[in-house]
């Protein structure tokens, strides 16, 4: 049996892919309740252990948001933007 048929096939993995650290809306709500803050920035996430300094943060739309928050992150999902603006907050992309 030739070598190319004996060795299993593997998929392609891009070397330029950017890994994002996911943060959900329910996590942001818990953080806002715990610290009594209205503004959540990347530095706030790093200080509370939700992200590292070199991470790229993406806010995802799982959970409910009741507090009016101004959120700063690298990326946002469409459902997260909708939920934040519905609660009266604002979205700032870094």
Which domains are seen in the chain, by residue range? 19-93 (3.100.10.10)
For residue 10, pLDDT over 90 is answered with: no
> pTM for this structure?
0.81
For residue 12, pLDDT over 90 is answered with: no
Are 64 and 81 in contact by the 8 Å Cβ rule? The answer is: no
Secondary structure of the chain as H, E, C letters: CCHHHHCCCCCCCCCCCCCEEEEEHHHHHHHHHHHCCCEECHHHHHHCCCCCCCCEEEEECCCCCCCCCEEEECEECHHHHHHHHHCCCEEEEC
For residue 9, pLDDT over 90 is answered with: no
- Which of 69, 67, 64 lies closest to 79 in space, CA to CA? 64
Q: What is the share, in percent, of the chain residues with pLDDT greater than 90?
A: 81
User: Binning pLDDT at 50, 70 and 90, where does residue 29 land?
Assistant: very high
pLDDT digits (tens, 9 = 90+) for 36-59: 999 999 999 999 999 999 999 999
Query: Rounded CA gap, 11 and 37, in Å?
Result: 45
* Beta pairing class for 56-60 and 20-24: parallel
For residue 1, pLDDT over 90 is answered with: no
């Amino acid at each position: 049996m030739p070598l190319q048929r004996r060795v299993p096939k593997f998929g392609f993995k891009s070397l330029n892919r950017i890994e994002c650290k996911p943060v959900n809306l329910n996590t942001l709500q818990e953080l806002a309740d715990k610290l009594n803050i209205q503004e959540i920035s990347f530095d706030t996430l790093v200080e509370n252990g939700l992200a590292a300094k070199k991470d790229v943060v993406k806010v995802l739309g799982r959970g409910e948001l009741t507090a009016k928050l101004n959120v700063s992150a690298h990326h946002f999902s469409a459902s997260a933007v909708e939920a934040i603006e519905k609660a009266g907050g604002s979205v700032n992309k870094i």
